[in-house]
Structure 1
Amino acid sequence: MNLPKRAEDAHATLAAAFNTGDPAIVMNMYDTSGIIVPEPGKPVSGKEQFEEAIRSILAIKGKMEIKTVYCLQTGNLAVGRSEWNITDGDEVKISAKGIEVMKQQPDGTWKILIDHAFGAEFSPTA
């Protein structure tokens, strides 16, 4: 699977990668020097922990859909806000609102550096 050539295509490419069910294809979407938050309040980093997080999400089984709410880019960095879910037929297995930071690679493609899958879920309290 080819990496996206535009930051705003990262969400759609990530969903397509997840829908292959292949952890190696999903891992290719990430810069594993960054952070992934596979469940609320549990950020992880490093290649092994990224792979473990990817495998746990793939274990949910179903079709992933990601809607890009916005994507803002400056230079070789971009931040995106997403709404995503994993469904099995009519059953929604998981649904959340995420925030992702993407980084352009030397070849012009984009990888996700920070994936906070639940980053837009919480309301600030005073």
Structure 2
Amino acid sequence: MTIPIAHSAQELGEHFVRLFRDGDTDTLAELYEDDALFAPAPGQEARGRTEIAAALRALRAAGATIELKLARIHEVGDIAVYSNIATVGGVNPDGSDLVAPTIEVARRQPDGTWRYVVDDPAFLSFLA
């Protein structure tokens, strides 16, 4: 599959949701910089595209579904920090959806596209 081009930081979330839903975790990992950090759960970290793809495959194998709704975004030069409200299905033992704010940092690449640098859907879990 062709790697989707994110012309804005916000487009990363749209591509993420579609690729995750389609189960294309290898292409999904290409939305991250080479040495990016993905934290799929509190205390868990995947660094680099190979580990990130494996962590995303594990989420899919566990039956997770993910929807994102942009909550807030700040861009300064080539850096964006933003939060989505994530609705994650298939992870709570009682069958309910997990709804939580995420934190992402993205960087504009030299070719003008955007990639994730940090993607931490559980960053604020200490508040719960």
TM over 0.5: yes
1:77 maps to what in 2? 79
| Structure 2 gap ranges (5+) | none
TM-score by length of 2: 0.82
1:12 maps to what in 2? 14
| Structure 1 gap ranges (5+) | none
SS of match in other structure, 1:78: strand
TM-score by length of 1: 0.83
RMSD of the TM alignment (CA)? 2.1
Choose between structure 1 and 2: higher helix proportion.
Answer: 2
Question: What is the percent sequence identity of the aligned residues?
Answer: 24
Cα distance in 1 for partners of 2:4, 2:75 equals: 20
Shift of 1:18: 0.9
Letter in 1 for 2:33: D
What is the correspondence of 1:49-60 to structure 2 with a 5 Å cutoff?
A: 49-60=51-62
Q: Is the CA contact 1:84–1:98 (under 8 Å) kept in the aligned structure 2?
A: yes
What is the correspondence of 1:1-126 to structure 2 with a 5 Å cutoff?
A: 1-61=3-63, 63-87=65-89, 92-123=96-127
Q: Is the CA contact 2:39–2:120 (under 8 Å) kept in the aligned structure 1?
A: yes
Shift of 1:78: 0.3
Tell me which stretches of 4 or more aligned residues in structure 1 moved more than 6 Å.
none
